Structure 1
Amino acid sequence: MSSKAWNMRRTVLGTALGLALAAFGAPSAHAANNDGSVAGHTQAGAVVTVTNPATGLTRTITADGEGNYRFPFLPVGQYTITASKDGQPVGPTRNVTVALGTTTTVDLGAVSATNLSTINVTSSVLPVIDVSSTESATIVSRSDLVRLPVDQNVTSVALLAPGVVKGDAGFGGISFGGSSVAENAFYVNGLNVTDFYNRNGFSEAPFAFYDQFQVKTGGYSVEFGRTTGGVVNAVARSGTNEFKAGTELTMEPGNWHSRGHDYYFDGERYYTSSRDRDSLTKLNVWASGPIVKDKLFFFAMYEARGASPRNTDDVGAVITDHNSNQGFWGTTIDWNITDSNVLSLMAFSDKNHDVGDVYDYDYATDTREAKTNEVYTDTGGRNWALTWTSYLTNDLSMKLMYGRNEREASVNSQRDIECNRVAATAAVSRPDVPLGCTTSSSVIGRTDTRKQARADFEWTLGDHLLRFGYDHEVDTSDYARHYPGPGGYYYNVYTANPGDTISNGGVIPPGYTAYVRARRYEIAGVFQTKNAAYYLEDNWQVTPNLVLNAGVRNDSFDNQDAEGRSYIKMSRQIAPRLGFSWDMKGDGSTKLFGNLGRYFLPVANVINIKQAGGLLDERTYYAFDGWEILELNGTQYAVPRLGPQLGPVDNSQGDGTVGDLRSEVDRNMDPVYQDEAILGFQQMINSSWSWGVSGTYRKLHNAIDDMEISATAQCGGDGYVGWVMANPGKKVTVWGDTNCDGTPDGWLTVDTSKEGWAMYDADGNYLGQRGWVKPKRTYTSLEFQLDRAWDEKWSFNASYVLAWNRGNAEGPVNSDTNFDDTGRTENFDDPWVNLGGDGYLPNDRRHQLKLRGVYALTPHWQIGGDVDIHSGGPITGFGVGNPYDATNYHSYFICVQNCDSPVSEERVYERSPRGKYGRLPWTYTLNGGITYLLPFEGGGNLRVKLAVYNLLNQQRKVRVDQDLQTDISNETNPTFGLPIGFQSPRFTQLTVSVDF
């Protein structure tokens, strides 16, 4: 093929009038968080100009001696690109689409108009292959979403990508490539909005605020870190030189939701969902346009939401009516200070206040009875990011960003405010009304604030593109937990005799036969985690057809206690990333790519709070002066009257300060990290169709979890250390008892792969020590994709993933036992919990098939569909205890004989491995939609979309009771295997939008 023909074919395939990297399945290139790039070849020394006609943004650079040029950090949108040399044009003007996180390749050569006329070039969206990329990602634009029946939330968008599945535990979330739901990262305009408290969740802007999404499922480049799962990267809408406005109404009335099913066991209803209802109405108005033409632009929207869902408890005895009526807003402002300097502001609020009215409920008559409580839930907060982008020289570009992410998370109730918890021993005389009016054990409030700063640079040096930068976060949790009621007191009443001495030295006075302990138990403080990273990457264009990239990221994590001292500190976490992309035919139509990478996961703030906080355990004792009868919402209850104080206040168990934590954390702890390898192939079949296949292998190394170290090698069966945050199965260095006198006096090292847990026989004879198994998790998959890009008539995408997810550790949470306290699972509490725990993990989905498409019946009518089919996860029968020890944690053993014996050696156990009891059923979810379009004269249009989600109303079980035994006995749990989680019932959504 001649050079001229090669350039012509590559250019047409790469740019033909509005090419769209937004085609599903197109992998992303190494570009920044909230923009894209244009690069290519032209004549050496040619002046290349790229212009956004909508905003007037124009950038000009000169191609190098080999004809290479590159425009980094371009805001997403439609551009024109031209080249000239010595005042003469080099080829015709090209139209280019810049999509999020991608590099569009455009080769500008002397292709004549005659040549172009022989090529069928239209304004169709083409499934372009980015031959400079080694990542695996899916790009979804706003225009894609308005055509498809996709629910209006970021999770639904992420689930369009191959290898992404919904978490089936009660705490939800999404799993990327076999990872747990607590390992992902979420960005909006470069701002990290991931929940850092327990890493399951994120701040979410109003859905109509977004312009494009990029779902990264693997191989992402070095500017992304702090994740061993996936990345969802979004960019917000922005204004142009044309004034535009619109409004959108979304309705989901309660009677458009199908009823859930009720489930019974032994004639008793144990799961009630038939009376649950969701109801949602959203109305947003937006406007965009120039403040100063070609210079300053705005986009602003406000969304009013009215939500009034209702739900019953599992047995249908209580019903809660919710009311959430909040206003959400978002805005972007873009200032083209010069063609080389742009300042952008993005801000949004997802703050929400929900009030739940709680009633006693008669299921048989479907009637509410007495109102018993009000529950107040506050979530979200304000978020903003300010970004400066600058072309420093022809070859060096810079982007600086500073932002703030807020998340409030608090749940309390009217009873929590007005009612102290009250208890009394059996011997205490009781009134005929309940003691206290709450059973709540704690009231928790938390505000998480992230302050983020980052600097990203691109420097072109001949065939090398250097990318480097710095990323810094300060993640602060302002946390408070206390007992409910005035003063945060929990009252316990005990019997006593006059003259008795109680635990704090107080004496029961004459005439009193009982006393009251008023206890305050509080954990409060401000907890910070400081995360920082440097990165450097070289993208080397070895030949016109081969790109190699080599990068490294150096992360550090510093989790601090309530007094600002480092609690868990890890630095020099070196994460290499290597990749290649081979344009096999040299025309941009066929690509072979691969990468190797390492990714580190930070420690969630919940660890700082739960284990490094200032504990106040204050106990004040009073003589008991009888019961006082109070009333709330028509219900009477009793609280103790406090007589004279007895003795001093006792806070010996915790005075509100942070103690010595050296014995509670491994001083040489290693981070959690994952290694990943991907090899893939992509090919354009013709101008509309493309296909691809890839293989992925992931291996997780280490875990950070709490372990109870009960003995050390130095002291044999003694040397108790306690609960330690550490790496199970590795050497742990803590402050402990080095000379076996019972007092911690120095640093000691325990090899937890061999020791750390003392074993004794029934007579108390020391038998030696046991160590922990090392955590393991591997994920292997084959992924196939077929794509037909939208051409104003129809589009189609299909993906199939065949995957295996094995090991003994799902990650920092446990889905199968519904434990979401990130990093504090039962898995490694002692050596026996995970003994024999190898097998297929909860997020193992062997088969995943996803189909979606849109077809235009007429210019005014479109139909769309989205299908998600996947096999179910494994079912494990968890036991309690094990053949070697009497502990009562979940285990992979069940007792089958002599289970009532108090001597553990006499009990007979049988292994109950992961997945022994089969799998959950396949699930089939079909979403369908129909859209009516009516363009207006002079611009704008009316769009009406009716979407039905879970059209077939499948309500298959997605979670079952996996506790085969709930205690050490000969009996098995009668509810084992009963379904306790289901697909959401069918619901219908009507969206009416008008754009001007």
Structure 2
Amino acid sequence: MRKFVMALGLVVAAVVLLAPHAGWAQSSGVTGQLIGTATDSDGGAMPGATIVATNTETGFSRTAITDTAGFFRLDLLPVGTYDVKAALDGFRTEIKRGARVGLGSSVRIDYILAESAIAEEIVVTAEAPVIETTNPSVTASVGDRAIANLPLQGRDFTDFAILVPGTVAADPSQDGGRGGLNMGARGIQNSFNIDGSNSQSSFFGEERGGTRPPFTFSQAAIKEFQVIQSSYNLQFNASGGVLNAITKSGTNQFRGEVFYYYRDDSFLEEDALGFESSAFDQKQYGFALGGPIVKDKLHFFVSYDSQDYVTPYEARFRDFPEERTAEWEAITGLDYDSETGEIEQTNDADVIMLKLDWQLSDNHLLTLRDNYATQEGENLTSSYSNTGRSNNGLEENSFNSFVASLNSVFSENAFNELIVQYANEERPRTANNTDLPEAGIYGYKGNWGQNQFLPNFLDEDRIQIIDNFTYYMGEHTLKVGTNLDFVAFDDGFYRYGGGSFSYSNWDDFFNDEAYSYTQSFSDYDGAVDFNTNYYAFYLQDEWRTSPNFTLTYGLRYDLQAHDDPKETNPLYPDTGQIPDDTNNWAPRVGFAWDLAGDGKQVLRGGMGMFYDNTPTLLDANAMLANGVRVIRVSERCEFGGCPDYPDRWGSLGDLDSVTPDIFVFDPSFENPETMRLSLGYEREVMTDFSMGVDLIYSETEKLERKWDQNIGDATGELTPDGRPVYVPYYYHSNYEDFDQIMQFTSDAEATYKAVILKARKRFSSGWMLDASYTWSEAEDNDSNERSVSSSSAYPEDQFILNNDWGPSNFDVQHKFIMSGSYQLPWDMMVSGILYIRSGFPYTAMDGRDHNNDGYSRNERAVVETSPGVFFHYNRNTFRQPYYRNLDLRLSKIITFGRNLELEIIAEAFNVSNEDNMYTDETELIDRYGNFNPDFGELTQAGDPRGYQLGLKFRF
């Protein structure tokens, strides 16, 4: 940190001294900005000129006066198209029409005013620049044209984030394949903001609603969004990517649309493994409507989006001895044919949004928005093929977000943005079966009975207050802001409440010889309620050192304030104690240099610190699994004490001794901190076409990981490949009153390097194109997101973390993405997205516990290459195959009069029917020392070619 601050000081000094010597601010997170100059024909400054920008759709207007240097700025402009007029007595008035102000953009418009003895005006078309020459951040925007016209299988606008360089769609073998932002970071290090407010679940550290709901905002409600890969605007804070979106508003014209999209199993081909869905059906429908309540003053917008969805997943128990089916049914009381085979999953959703925009006066704009969403999914807990019906569950979600924002102009130099949000999220989960304890066969060969995670529930209530105040002071633009988040949680997570048996193989199950058994007990129903508050403050100066050089620098402070423990365990007083990290000061500096001063090319860069919050799932787990509120007991059945399947322990009194598992925080635990550098160059190579390159580097420290404090000291013996051997946790070497003591600590690290090449042709002459190639390298020594598992996500040697240094689980070395649309004759349009990336890494695993720490799911394979010579595989040395996908869309518009039109849409996904196979056979050697002949076999297939038809009626 000290070295970074010194380096930051040198950078600031260098750019100040070397930059050629007024102050224009970057725009806010939900609006845009117009900046420019007024000069005479000789280039002299024109002070006192009146600049008026009027939104062509809503009538919203804002006025500025040029200063002594002829500069003007119009801040806090709602996204849209503006006519901008410059007037000064004795000079001809000039109006520039069609200036497009985008989200987070700073658009420059310059005027050369000619003398005129009579009152006259000239009207010209505004030529918006292709590149932005005042923003030091690395950003990319996805506008309303792309959102409306590019192919999309669902209605989740965040899926379009994949269009942005550096973003990566998630690994389907890890979490179902939903999109992510990443930038080499963990998913919990990303940030989602809609209409300037937090759109995240602080509990899970993910987008509000998580990965289960198909969408939480209607695609028809989103105006545009941007992804910030590297931000030097201190208003934002995330080590990964920042997704910043705004919703649509009504205009002075009544406009709306009704839409319907349909797919079923007849629209899908069989996948590469020959599986052909016979029960797939998806319907998506809804409407959007906006218009004036009072013209030029008060406007409304409403949208509704719904999905009816059913799809099968094929459940199968691997290596199941079919000749013993009747015996299995007699023991479990389940029907094998119902438990396996094709099982239907549903995922139904409804979302409604209401929005009002009220221009209270020329200086105040009030916006009210409410978004309410519900979702329900049967058998949605798991899609893994080894999951039987009884091991699945019903998932439900409901979430509401009410946002009020007030943009105010206090004077010619003072502006304020106030945002207040109340949000609520509820996630109840219920189990399909509560009569049987869970049973699982080693090697992911089969799971049935009550899922160990179910039932559970989560209620999350948020009150957020944001205020950003901007003051223009000569060459400087000062910005001070705060973001206060007060979040209350009510969490019920009674893991293992129904009991869970683990078996080494099928024979052991039939012989009732379990490997281990775990069950939890609670006098609190496995529930806890607590609060976590988040405080952020920043001060920023944007200094226009010359007409073509902008320097942005400032300081931000972040604090995550945890709740006090509900109770502590007298046998381990630190239980429930969660330390606050109070030294999160984040200096940042960035610059943007318009090299020739003509707005055609820019050199931008910067460096800064970023801090992330810790998902409060970890807080809840430490408060629940403390040996008091929830008492979790695990037995290795070889030592006796396990019940006979399918029995459970009736109470703690049934046990001879109780040594529970607990979760605790390291007293010195801190939140992750990232230092990031970036340097980029972008140039307009022809009208409406730009090309650029960005270099990004980051180092992250204090990433969370967990380790077991009850592992004993090294015995002095070595594993075959020369690593220390320990005394396992179940001998209670350090704490005899406990079994596993899982401690959350913060000593993991990561690095990220990226080179981004990009080209963009904005829409004109009937077509647009975006293309980029990203080379990146993400490395770390722990990739766990927020694991609260007591049996997995540990480093191989919990005392020597750097032995696990290698490619991150999120490392995608090559990514190419291209999207575009082309207007055909006869009101037809074709558009498409081509996406190619290299595969995610994976590790050759070993089922044996070589170092005797009591864990076998963290061992990398050890192979004897010759007598007495052993080879130990490094982490993540294997790669999944490349992923390739091409989606196309063809549409035809039929007009009915002036304002009525019907759009007929046909979409094809995975047009070339790529297999997109990947493996889940990552164990090279099993716990008995046997080689797995199927290691690396491509056992899972991506989605096959499919089609979708849609209708959209606009009025």
Aligned 1:510-525 pairs, distance under 5 A: 520=522, 522-525=525-528
Runs of 5+ unmatched residues, structure 1: 1-27, 114-118, 264-272, 364-369, 424-435, 493-516, 621-636, 719-739, 745-755, 758-771, 814-819, 900-905
CA distance in structure 2 between the aligned counterparts of 1:491 and 1:884, rounded to whole angstroms: 26
The residue correspondences of 1:552-951 to structure 2 (distance < 5 A) are 552-560=555-563, 563=566, 567-613=578-624, 615-617=628-630, 664-709=664-709, 775-810=748-783, 812=785, 821=788, 826-828=793-795, 830-831=797-798, 834=801, 836-880=803-847, 885-891=852-858, 893-896=860-863, 909-917=870-878, 919-951=879-911
Q: Equivalent residue for 2:227?
A: 215
Alignment of 1:138-217 (within 5 A): 138-151=140-153, 152-168=155-171, 169-171=173-175, 172-173=177-178, 174-203=180-209, 204-217=216-229
Distance change >3 Å, CA 298–CA 575, structure 1 → 2 = same
1:147 shift after superposition: 2.3
Distance 2:141 2:265 in 1: 33
Pair 1:55 & 2:78 matched: no
Q: Which AA in structure 2 matches 1:913?
A: N
Shift of 1:869: 1.1
The alignment partner of 1:351 has SS state of strand
Deviations 1:162-202 (A, max 9, x none): 11111214314424321122221111101211222222443
CA distance in 1, matches of 2:124, 2:792: 57
Provide the residue aligned with 2:534 in structure 1: 531
Following superposition, the deviation at residue 823 of structure 1 comes to: 12
Q: Which runs of 5+ in 2 are unaligned?
A: 1-23, 39-45, 117-121, 210-215, 318-336, 440-447, 502-518, 568-575, 634-644, 716-732
Moved more, 326-335 or 254-263: 254-263
What is the deviation of 1:71? Answer: 1.7
- Contact 1:706–1:825, Cα closer than 8 Å, also in 2: no
Could you list the per-position Cα deviations for residues 406-458 of structure 1 after superposition, in whole angstroms to 9, with x for gaps in the alignment?
Answer: 33223213533xx36499xxxxxxxxxxxx97565642111223321110111
Residue identity (%)? 21
Secondary structure of the 1:146 match is helix
The alpha carbon displacement at 1:108 in A equals: 2.5
* Compared CA separation, residues 838 and 134, structure 1 to 2 (3 A): same
Which residue in the other structure is 1:36 paired with?
A: 32
Q: Does 1:387 align with 2:346?
A: no
Instruction: State the SS of the aligned residue for 1:776.
Output: strand
CA contact (8 A) 1:47 1:61 kept: yes
**Do 2:312 and 2:342's aligned partners in 1 also have CA atoms closer than 8 Å?**
yes
CA contact (8 A) 1:773 1:835 kept: no
Single out whichever of 273-282 and 557-566 deviates more from structure 2. 557-566
In structure 1, give the amino acid aligned to 2:423.
N
How far apart in 2 are the matches of 1:145 and 1:950?
19
Cα deviation for residue 693 of structure 1 reads: 1.0
Q: Give 1:898 shift.
A: 13
Residue of 306, 312, 315 corresponding to 1:313: 315
SS of alignment partner, residue 157 of structure 1: helix
Give the drift of 1:122: 6.5
1:93 alignment partner, SS class: strand
Displacement of 1:970 in angstroms is 3.1
Q: Secondary structure at the match of 2:943?
A: coil
8 A Cα contact 1:708 1:830, kept in partner: no
Q: Which residue does 1:505 correspond to in 2?
A: none
Counterpart residue number, 2:303: 301
Shift of 1:148: 2.0
Distance 1:357 1:232, change over 3 A: closer
* Two-structure CA RMSD over aligned residues (Å): 4.1
> What SS does the corresponding residue of 1:350 show, helix, strand or coil?
strand
How far apart are 1:287 and its partner, in Å?
A: 1.6
**2:224 alignment partner AA:** Q
Cα distance in structure 1, aligned partners of 2:677 and 2:232:
11
**How far off its partner does 1:699 sit?**
1.3
Tell me the alpha carbon deviations over residues 327-381 of structure 1, each in whole angstroms, 9 at most, x when there is no partner. 321111111111111110121122112335999xx99xxxxxx997994210241
Q: Deviations over 1:859-909 (max 9, x none)?
A: 51111121011122334212356765554344564344699xxxxxx9975
Q: Secondary structure at the match of 1:143?
A: helix
Label 1:353 to 1:970 Cα distance change in 2 as closer, same or farther (>3 A): closer
2:67 — aligned with what?
Answer: 64
TM-fit CA distance, 1:205: 0.7
Rate the CA distance shift 1:137–1:189 in 2: closer, same or farther, 3 A.
same
What's the secondary structure of 1:836's corresponding residue? Answer: helix
Corresponding residue for residue 932 of structure 2: 973
Please say if residues 480 and 540 of structure 2, whose CA atoms lie closer than 8 Å, have aligned partners that are also in contact. Answer: yes
Report the residue type matching 1:599 in the other structure. F
Q: Secondary structure at the match of 2:526?
A: strand
Q: Are the equivalent residues in 1 in contact too, given 2:282–2:310 (CA < 8 A)?
A: yes
SS of residue matched to 2:703: coil
Cα 1:979–1:406 shift into 2, 3 Å: farther
Residues 825, 240 of structure 1: alpha-carbon distance in 2 compared, 3 angstrom cutoff? farther
Q: 2:459 aligns with which of 447, 463, 470?
A: 447
Q: 1:641 to 1:73 in 2, by over 3 A?
A: closer
Does the CA-based 8 Å contact 1:345-1:385 persist in structure 2?
yes
Distance (whole Å) between structure 2 residues aligned to residue 408 and residue 955 of structure 1: 37
Q: Which residue of 2 aligns with 1:481?
A: 493
1:988 paired with 2:947, answer yes
TM-score (norm 2): 0.78
> Does the aligned pair in 2 maintain the 1:707–1:830 contact within 8 Å?
no
**Pairwise CA distance, 1:558:** 1.8
Structure 1 pair 879–821 and aligned structure 2 pair: CA distance change class (3 A):
same
Given the superposition, is the C-alpha separation of residues 376 and 648 from structure 1 closer, same or farther in structure 2, using an over 3 Å criterion?
closer
2:239 counterpart letter in structure 1: T
> What is the total number of aligned residue pairs between the two structures?
818
Structure ID, larger Rg? 1
- Match of residue 239 from structure 1: 250
Contact 2:594/2:602 (8 A) holds in 1: yes
2:370 counterpart of 1:347: yes
Change (3 A) 1:190 1:63: same
Partner of 2:483: 471
1:930 & 1:206 partners in 2: Cα distance?
22
Structure 1: distance between partners of 2:805 and 2:550: 40
Checking the alignment, whether the CA contact within 8 Å between 2:380 and 2:395 is kept in structure 1 is no
Give yes or no for contact 1:219–1:678 (8 Å, CA) kept in 2: no
Offset at 1:545? 0.9
Query: Is the Cα contact below 8 Å between 1:619 and 1:649 reproduced in 2?
Result: no
Matched ranges for 1:14-163 at <5 A: 30-42=26-38, 43-86=46-89, 88-110=91-113, 128-151=130-153, 152-163=155-166
User: 1:925, 1:398 → 2: CA distance?
Assistant: 45
Query: C-alpha distance in 2, partners of 1:949/1:989?
Result: 8
| Deviation at residue 311 of structure 1 after TM alignment | 2.0
Residue 924 of structure 1 aligns to which amino acid in structure 2? Answer: R
Structure 1 residues 303 and 709, CA gap change in structure 2 (3 angstroms):
closer
Pair 1:861–1:519, CA change in 2 (3 A): closer
CA distance in 2 between partners of 1:604 and 1:452 (Å): 17
Residues 822, 581 of structure 1: CA spacing in aligned structure 2 closer, same or farther, 3 A cutoff? farther
Cα distance, 1:491 vs structure 2: 12
Q: What is the TM-score normalised by the length of structure 1?
A: 0.75
Q: Distance in 2 between matches of 1:532 and 1:337?
A: 30
> Cα distance, 1:950 vs. partner?
1.0
Matched residues in 2 for 1:646 and 1:926: separation?
A: 57
1:403 pairs, out of 409, 418, 421, with 421
